[in-house]
Amino acid sequence: MLLNNSDFHLPYNQKLVAKAKELRKKATIPEQKLWQEYLRFLKPRFLRQRPIDNFIVDFYCASCQLVIEIDGDSHFTQEGQKYDFERTKILEGYGLTVVRFTNEQVMNHFEGVCTEIERSFFQKDRKTVFHNRGVLFWEIH
């Protein structure tokens, strides 16, 4: 069920603002790299550590309705995978597309990650694919 329509604004949890600011100050190295070397220069504009509903997403572009997540080791546990799957479904219910990359992809395949992000701007039917551990990720070509 799509929860988003043209008159709908994403839920913004004010209680998460302080935590989001803290996360921006303590970004992981892959998050810092993607932000400092790429996303902050892009048009359309991305926001870092943005509260949406009861979550804080790593990067969010309102005009593209795109969420980018950079996943570390905690996302590869069974519990982490279940949480990510449920969270992704909720965010997709708002009409958002969630794109996931691993820390390793950002650090070792940076150009491919940037290419996939750019492709996601132009693809109307963006598809998410399964990483070999069962977590949702984009394939890097």
Pair 48, 59: CB distance under 8 Å: yes
| Residue scoring higher pLDDT (59 or 5) | 59
Answer yes or no: are the C-beta atoms of 69 and 101 closer than 8 Å: yes
- Ramachandran angles phi, psi of 55, nearest 5°: -120, 160
pLDDT recorded at residue 75: 57
The answer to whether position 117 is within a domain reads yes
Q: CATH number for the domain including 83?
A: 3.40.960.10
Task: Read off the DSSP letter of residue 140.
Answer: P
Residue 39 lies in a domain: yes
pTM: 0.79
Asked, for residue 140, whether it belongs to a domain, the answer is: no
Structural domain count, the chain: 1
The CA distance from 98 to 86, in Å, is: 12
User: Which residues sit opposite 70 in a β-bridge?
Assistant: 101
Most confident among 76-90, 92-106, 121-135 (mean pLDDT): 92-106
Using a pLDDT cut of 90, give the percent of the chain over it: 57
Q: Identify whether 7 is part of a domain.
A: no
* Residue range(s) defining the domain that contains residue 116: 14-126
Confidence band for 78, pLDDT divided at 50, 70 and 90? confident
